[in-house]
Amino acid sequence: MFATPEQLANANKANVEAMLTLANTAFASAERLAALNLNTARAVLEDSVNNAKALLGAKDVQEIISLQSNFAQPAVEKVVAYSRSVYEITSQTQDEFSKVVEAQFAELNKNLAALLDKAAKSAPAGADVAVAAVKSAIAAANSAYDSINKAAKQVAEIAEANVAAATNATVKAVGAAAASTPKAKKAA
């Protein structure tokens, strides 16, 4: 009704660009995850071979127990580092997706406001009350969206802090357990 072919073409072009941005972000994230997984698999294989060689070279049961205790701390640290890397990649991907969606939402709001202004100018007398009601509803929806978005970001920040605290506590606990092994006590 109010849209010209140029406006429709521009809207379609913007939508295609947004979809391309989302697709490129998803592919980049998948590529980073694949590289991380390959590097982790390589490191796990190398560590397993080295640990097996060390265990095969042990002279008694006490040395085997000591070796196994010594393997625990680096393994936990590597699991924690891997988890952090995965979390970082997924967080960055989610942030990029959010930026695209927020930009699309802002553009939609701008276009809707322009459309309402145009409709109000050409509407019959008395229609400004209905237009004002629609604008008010849109403003309320935008306010609700902003509040939900801020709350979601706060929840994500709290979750990130909790994950960091839990992983640090796990690494410390494993380190303390490894330090209390019989070999560590003899060395002390």
Residue 155 CA: distances (Å) to CA of 1, 96, 100, 133, 158: 42, 18, 20, 33, 5
pLDDT tier at 120, thresholds 50, 70, 90? confident
Q: pLDDT tens digit string along 91-118?
A: 899 989 989 988 888 888 888 888 777 8
Q: What DSSP assignment string belongs to 139-156? A: HHHHHHHHHHHHHHHHHH
- Rounded to the nearest integer, the mean pLDDT of the chain is 83
Domain positions in the chain? 5-187
Q: What is the DSSP letter of 157?
A: H
Mean pLDDT score, 59-77 = 88
Contacts of 54 (CB under 8 A, 6+ apart): 67
Q: Give the pLDDT confidence of 17-43 residue by residue, as tens digits.
A: 989 999 999 999 999 999 999 999 999
Residue 61 pLDDT greater than 70, yes or no: yes
**CA pair distance 81, 87, nearest whole angstrom:** 10
Residue 175 has pLDDT above 80, yes or no: no
